[in-house]
Structure 1
């Protein structure tokens, strides 16, 4: 469940209002105008037997062996967020464990930088389901991207053509609905999927259909180790985008004796930072343990693997790497030259007055606060929006959790002696 898998608070509320008004969720796996008729034969009541979960008769070792073919030993997965293999097996078994046959065995494990696709095709380099600009869409005609991190979707496909699962927070009363960042509700869709195996290493696994599967039951959630339940609670509390509505509902139920909030009440609470911060990790765990909050699950079935397209990308990739390296070297050289120039100028400049130092300190503190704000933001989409507000002179390149280069404000160190002088100057002014 990457931080940017779910809608923004405004988009989510707008989508819920649209559904309440009678709008139908979109099924994007079938072209418009095409319908499928399904006939179901009714069975006599006496023939209906109590159902059991798939895989209940198997041991953990047997399930682990059955899933071995769809696991990738090179994948770096955060085990504290990984639900059990039994949860995976119960749902994967329904769509089949078969791996889609991939023609190109040489290139199928080629790993890309996420930045490459953003540069070539446009769109955000941090969003899970990025949308392309109209200009790029006209040029490439591709707008069905999905970039899944195994950190929040540990059961996503790890091998090209293998099946997998996609997780997202459940909207109460609307099972099997996923909301795009624009607030569009959909039950099923198709995407060309890339999976992050490690920092800066993205693997193309194929074109997949996403279809609603069984949501995680309270019993399944409770059966997970305590560290997994608490890690999920911690992540939900830390994310101000996809976690905010969950926190708002938990807070509202606590304040109003278990009553569910209306749309307007949810919107009001979701923007109340103090209310959201007051929700504890234990309250979040309890909400999922009792079924008041649920993890929605979508099964992922591979329906194709464009070997020709990937071969073209691989052929172009070395040139892109060379061009990018040259750009980074040029930028670094310009920064070094600028610093040397500043040092020469500083030697000739007279020593600033105490008031000038105070003003400089305030400006430096503002820049440092930018860095601290960026560092505290967990949502990749929020980091991107914040990044757009920074000046070019106040940023430097670092690598984020997805292995992409981000420009963030440079923290500036102020010597202790200077800080003391400024503090003394402020105290003198106050005495006056």
Structure 2
């Protein structure tokens, strides 16, 4: 998931409108939930054309809050989409956004070939998620504390949760003790645009199944601990998810072959890759796009002792190349 992470002290609203200048309005008459991602935001129905995310986001005003995603089986008789061109934003406003080079920590070790995207792509996401820096204390003691790193094992012993996963979720008794339901722990060698410095925002990429199309925009905050290098994890602040989208096929294909191969190996080896692999299997066996419910049911069955060795790494990379599965 390409997700903007913004520190909780920053209250700027998310600008839901990012399109290419050449984008043409789509005919929304008769649109169904299966044609794209549909979500609710304060009485606004946001329709995101599946093939164009994140380059085409349109907003359609509706008079009332209509209910859950399952209620959106058809959408008709709605107003013309309002297209907001981020490229035409006022230069003064753009100047307030964080610059890509300010997001990097000089102590972070990043592989020569990692999940690198063109700076223009990173700038695009910065605009989309309205990412800005947050002021942090400048005195010597505060600076020393903000530079202090710990081992991941120490974090797990102190707070609970996994010592390896990106999303570390402590047990219920630990949550009762410290109040944090989730810690996000990106290793910078894998997530080179994740938050790396206190006060700076960042971008995290993930790859749940394409049918898991809900936006990660929430009111709750979570601690983010960045893995600058093995054995050195830095607390960079409490953050909120501030956006949603996924890499286009062109952006995915622009990545070095070794990076795509590494990413696919994570999908094949990690527990969080099971739903995506299950999505690929179901697409093959059903000969149509699986629903979120089907993927979840099959994934839950696998967790109870099922098998999933018939999905190959070649199938995974082909699914990404064709846009059947995506990196969020």
Task: Tell me if TM exceeds 0.5.
Answer: yes
Against the structure 1 CA distance between its residues 247 and 171, is the aligned structure 2 distance closer, same or farther, given a 3 Å change threshold? closer
The counterpart of 1:249, out of the listed 279, 283, 301, is 279
Q: After superposition, where does 1:337-376 map in structure 2 within 5 Å? A: none
- Give the structure 1 partner of residue 123 of structure 2: 89
Residue-pair matches, total: 244
Please state how far the C-alpha of 1:143 moved relative to its aligned partner: 3.7
Please state how far the C-alpha of 1:138 moved relative to its aligned partner: 4.2
Please state how far the C-alpha of 1:97 moved relative to its aligned partner: 4.9
Q: Is the 8 A contact 1:102 1:108 kept in 2?
A: no
- Give the structure 2 partner of residue 156 of structure 1: 194
- Give the structure 1 partner of residue 269 of structure 2: 238
- Give the structure 1 partner of residue 110 of structure 2: 77
3-state secondary structure, aligned to 1:91: helix
- Give the structure 2 partner of residue 126 of structure 1: 164
- Residue by residue over 1:13-52, the C-alpha shift from the partner in whole angstroms, topping out at 9 and shown as x without a partner, is xxxxxxx9xxxxx99xxxxxxx96779898x979969x58
Q: TM-score, normalised by structure 2?
A: 0.61
Where does structure 1 lack aligned partners over 5 or more consecutive residues? 2-19, 21-25, 28-34, 56-64, 179-185, 297-432
Q: Is the 8 A contact 1:188 1:211 kept in 2?
A: no
Against the structure 1 CA distance between its residues 41 and 201, is the aligned structure 2 distance closer, same or farther, given a 3 Å change threshold? same
- Residue by residue over 1:177-229, the C-alpha shift from the partner in whole angstroms, topping out at 9 and shown as x without a partner, is 56xxxxxxx86642111100011111111111112322111222122233322
Against the structure 1 CA distance between its residues 74 and 284, is the aligned structure 2 distance closer, same or farther, given a 3 Å change threshold? same
1:284 has 2:316 as partner: yes
RMSD across aligned C-alpha pairs, in angstroms? 4.0
Higher helix content, 1 or 2:
1
Please state how far the C-alpha of 1:68 moved relative to its aligned partner: 1.2
Against the structure 1 CA distance between its residues 54 and 140, is the aligned structure 2 distance closer, same or farther, given a 3 Å change threshold? same
3-state secondary structure, aligned to 2:162: coil
- Give the structure 2 partner of residue 259 of structure 1: 288
3-state secondary structure, aligned to 1:169: coil
1:172 has 2:210 as partner: yes
Q: TM-score, normalised by structure 1?
A: 0.47
Q: Distance in 1 between matches of 2:122 and 2:88?
A: 10
Q: Distance in 1 between matches of 2:163 and 2:263?
A: 24
Q: After superposition, where does 1:91-240 map in structure 2 within 5 Å? A: 91-103=125-137, 104-177=142-215, 189-239=220-270
3-state secondary structure, aligned to 2:241: strand
Task: Compare CA radii of gyration and give the structure with the larger one.
Answer: 1
Q: Distance in 2 between matches of 1:199 and 1:46?
A: 47
Against the structure 1 CA distance between its residues 52 and 135, is the aligned structure 2 distance closer, same or farther, given a 3 Å change threshold? closer
Q: Distance in 2 between matches of 1:87 and 1:54?
A: 16
Q: Distance in 2 between matches of 1:83 and 1:54?
A: 26
